[in-house]
Structure 1
Amino acid sequence: MRISVPVNHNFYEEAPIPEADLGNIFNVKRSGVKYLQQIFSSVYELKLGAEQLKQVKVFNFKRNRFFEQDEERLILKLYSKEKEGKEKEYFIQTGLYAGVLFHKGCKINITTKYGDTFLKRMLNLVNDIYVDNEQINAKKDETENQFLFIIAHLFIQSLEKAVVLGLPQQYQKHQERSHKVRGSIDFNDYLKRDIPFQGKLTTTFRERMYVQEIVDVLYLALRKLENVFGKEIHSRLLGLNQQLKQQYSGRFVSYETIRKAKTHQTIYNPMYRGFKKVLEYAEIILLNKDLMLNNERQDIATTGYLFDIAELYELYLEKLLNRNFPEWFVSGQVEIPIYQKQFYRRSMFPDLIMTHKTSGKIIALDAKFKKMEMQSKDIDRADLHQIHSYSGYYQDDLIASGLIYPLSKKIDFEYSHTETLYGDNNNEVHFVVDGVFVFENQTMGELIENENEFIKRISHLTNRHVNHNLQQQFCVRRG
């Protein structure tokens, strides 16, 4: 049985599922409806750090995110409510993690929302790997395509980092019979074969060799990605690809080969420990691990894997702003320590801080991978308070702050941007609610055009600062 639901779904319980519609929505027969009712009957809630997550792999992009100590990170919640005089209603809520989960024989796909184009664009921009191959859309299961595409980028990205010091090698013992002495002479063989001496000796020596299991796993993972996405997927690894091709044994890997590669002693060497994560990704790529439901495993703990899509969105915005504002430093997850001498000390972590390279002026932004249709209820009270806390910290250095969303509706500049913080006209700090307009079935060209519109609006904030500085310099010169 399969359930498919987008990230950040049903936060306000705005989409209850009536009991009569369970079968149609999940495309199951009467027996399946009864099974669904059992799953929803007791509240099933999965949060980051929960005991049920022990067998669920959570993957991150590039860095660790920082959360407030009391911040709850919802992944999935299934429950039902019975209203007096009405039929029971069923609810699915999700947080900001996309992926595949298996719970009591049910496969739950948490999709990335907004379609494949936006996911591709974020991954391409974050990792500088540009792939727009429509072969991915030819496969039947669109959600599995999304997750394979994410894994592909994580695999390429981590492999590129891990291979800086070379592929894992180990010393292996070899015997050679020749005219030259290499290593130590095998005297037993000499006494048996070389009296009288014929000019050749058998020698034993140790030589550094690539670990064959690791070479085979990496090579075949790259081949599989190339078949799905085209050669562009590993364009930055062409030298490594040729090296792996030369060292490949010619054999297809089995699960046992992958197990040996993942547990090989060389990857516990600090020099090669980056390959541990690389081989985890390769295993998923080669075996489609956790992509298919095993109906026999219905009573074990929740399994699967998840991706922090909110973190990917933050990194996407960081890269986009860095590219378009060369006169500004753009930093993600900057630590702001507060009350460090008190028992209530804390640290705050704004998602994005833009710092002007000359003046040191600040623009503080928080990335929110949440629905934004330009309605009041789309702005969470906690998010609004959070960005104003960051704004207060930077005080006189701050020229603008705001919340940045993937927009589901084109922006109305007048109602989204204000000339002053708090809107009280007592300061000159700009406040914005903005973002990139995205929608399903969007072409890459349309998305890039909407990115450019977003950059123009942010340029309005940065140009305002530059013009203000020029005006001040002019006044000083005249004085």
Structure 2
Amino acid sequence: MQSDICTIKVRDCSYIDIEANMAIVINNCFISTNVFRVSPSVASDEQPLLSYSHTHKKWLTGRYIGKLYFEYNGKPHCFEVQPRFGNANILILLEEIFNIKLAHNTSEYKLYDNSDNELLKKIISIIWVKTLSKINIHGLPKHKVEKLNKSSTVRGKIAIKRSVLPIYKEKYVVSKRIEKEVDSTIVAILKKAYIILCKDYSLTESMLSDAVKEVIRVPCYNKKVITTNQFQKIKYGAIYANYKEIVDFSWHIIQHKKQSSMHEMADTMGDALFLDMAEIWEKYLFTILKKCFAPRGWHVYSQQYRIYQNIGFERSIIPDIILEKDGHVVVLDAKYKRMTGHFSDYDRTDFFQLHTYGSYMESHNKKLIGLGLIYPLSERFDKEKLDKNFAKNLYGDSTSNTWFKVDGICLKDSHHQLTEQKDDFLRRVESLLLI
């Protein structure tokens, strides 16, 4: 990396002043593989780093945070998008999503950000270590394999057909038995991810737990490159079902490394890496709603639905969060956008999209209780704002008993304050789940 890089620091989902030509160059340098996905279960859609607002006559940053290195007018530049709610909030949201405790103050976990995306890379390393430590309570996943034994001693069952010739010629029998072996494909994926994390993601020996060290010490029998087909064919028994999460996460690390190394700018301008805050926000909301309402009999899920099948304009719709109980449903859409309560913050496309989800549910004999757009809030919505963002009847003047609301959680730097805001939000949702 060159020392005279011109760094442009901005915040996500914010209006900025930037030359139009530079904005175009930034968008052209940004590719979808620059985005590291923390959750494969959340649907992703590609968005540019910058979009132009004709209303405000300014450029608007999107939902991605991270750094992009590029050249403009023959000079090296760094476009750095920082989280508008602060780094501490990212840690808190990720703690909830992965059910782990990210060390905020421990010296070896300090999150400096003075090199190529060190902050984001350190976060990814910590998530990997903490998740693997939590999951590895039953040891590594194992599968059954057939072992053959050729000797005068029988181990297991005699393989009669295979023993006929050896008995006659060499005086030994062939027996077979079933044993359990550690899944070599899983071990290979985890160890490959570990190597990448150590080399490129600031993972150090001091950050490893005993559970992770145990995995790293396991001999890797699969020395070859792991193919996508091998990854997709991995099977997890009931006792090892939780391992899918860390294996998928490790696979993303490997794929990101492969795709980054193929990019022509990687060697000269550094590795571009971004996190999708919309993905993190959606997964966070899904997690807290499931933790709160699943024990009360609500099925909390997201599902893809194919509409107009076998017709030229066949499409998919994917509601972010559905709460269902006894045929009654609430559909919520997570939106990581600006929301201050100003009229310009309300996106008509979001409203139409959510109403479409509701209509689809009703067309499939679901009793629609309510619809909601859920945002991260820059400041707390007081009672007056909350009342103005709630309609008891769909469309505001219908005879429908379905409510519609815009709500959210005020993201605070303090863990205690954010927990209070989260609990207030969950209580508001609970008060509307009356069936």
Q: What TM-score do you get using the length of structure 1 for normalisation?
A: 0.61
CA change 1:220–1:270 in 2 (3 A) is closer
Measure, in 2, the Cα distance between the counterparts of 1:269 and 1:284.
13
1:43, 1:79 within 8 Å by CA — same for their partners in 2? no
Q: What RMSD over aligned residues (CA atoms) do the two structures have, in Å?
A: 4.4
Superposed displacement of residue 118, structure 1: 1.8
Superposed displacement of residue 132, structure 1: 3.9
Measure, in 2, the Cα distance between the counterparts of 1:451 and 1:4.
29
The correspondence for 1:265, drawn from 224, 230, 245, is: 224
Aligned twin of 1:422 = 395
**1:239 counterpart = 2:217:** no
Measure, in 1, the Cα distance between the counterparts of 2:330 and 2:248.
38
Measure, in 1, the Cα distance between the counterparts of 2:301 and 2:410.
23
Superposed displacement of residue 225, structure 1: 4.3
Aligned twin of 1:152 = 126
3-state SS of paired residue (1:110): strand
Superposed displacement of residue 80, structure 1: 12
Aligned twin of 1:4 = 9
1:120, 1:131 within 8 Å by CA — same for their partners in 2? yes
Superposed displacement of residue 227, structure 1: 7.1
Aligned twin of 2:275 = 307
Measure, in 1, the Cα distance between the counterparts of 2:330 and 2:337.
21
1:97, 1:306 within 8 Å by CA — same for their partners in 2? yes
The correspondence for 2:375, drawn from 394, 397, 405, is: 405
Measure, in 1, the Cα distance between the counterparts of 2:227 and 2:23.
43
1:45, 1:78 within 8 Å by CA — same for their partners in 2? no
The correspondence for 2:316, drawn from 334, 338, 347, is: 347
3-state SS of paired residue (1:384): helix
Aligned twin of 1:120 = 91
The correspondence for 1:393, drawn from 360, 385, 398, is: 360
Superposed displacement of residue 432, structure 1: 1.0
Measure, in 2, the Cα distance between the counterparts of 1:42 and 1:437.
30
The correspondence for 1:63, drawn from 40, 45, 48, is: 40
1:420, 1:429 within 8 Å by CA — same for their partners in 2? yes
Measure, in 1, the Cα distance between the counterparts of 2:63 and 2:119.
19
3-state SS of paired residue (1:122): helix
Measure, in 1, the Cα distance between the counterparts of 2:403 and 2:123.
38
Aligned twin of 1:460 = 431
State which structure, 1 or 2, has the greater radius of gyration over its C-alpha atoms: 1
Percent identical residues:
22
Aligned twin of 1:44 = 25
Superposed displacement of residue 316, structure 1: 0.8
Q: Structure 2, unaligned stretches of length 5 or more? A: 1-5, 144-180, 235-246
1:250-261 maps to which residues of 2 (within 5 A)? none
CA change 1:346–1:280 in 2 (3 A) is closer
Aligned twin of 1:186 = none
2:140, 2:215 within 8 Å by CA — same for their partners in 1? no
CA change 1:415–1:226 in 2 (3 A) is farther
1:144-293 maps to which residues of 2 (within 5 A)? 144-154=118-128, 157=131, 164-165=140-141, 218=194, 221=197, 225=203, 238-244=210-216, 264-265=223-224, 267-268=226-227, 278=250, 281=253
Measure, in 2, the Cα distance between the counterparts of 1:216 and 1:342.
44
3-state SS of paired residue (1:426): coil
Superposed displacement of residue 272, structure 1: 6.5
Measure, in 1, the Cα distance between the counterparts of 2:23 and 2:204.
44
Q: What TM-score do you get using the length of structure 2 for normalisation?
A: 0.67
Amino acid at match of 1:362: V
CA change 1:161–1:343 in 2 (3 A) is farther
3-state SS of paired residue (1:354): strand
Superposed displacement of residue 93, structure 1: 3.3
**1:329 counterpart = 2:288:** no
Amino acid at match of 2:409: V
Superposed displacement of residue 404, structure 1: 0.4
Corresponding residue pairs, total: 352
Q: Structure 1, unaligned stretches of length 5 or more? A: 18-36, 82-88, 168-207, 249-260, 466-479
3-state SS of paired residue (2:226): helix
Aligned twin of 2:177 = none
Q: Mean Cα displacement is larger for which, 361-370 or 415-424?
A: 415-424
CA change 1:51–1:3 in 2 (3 A) is closer
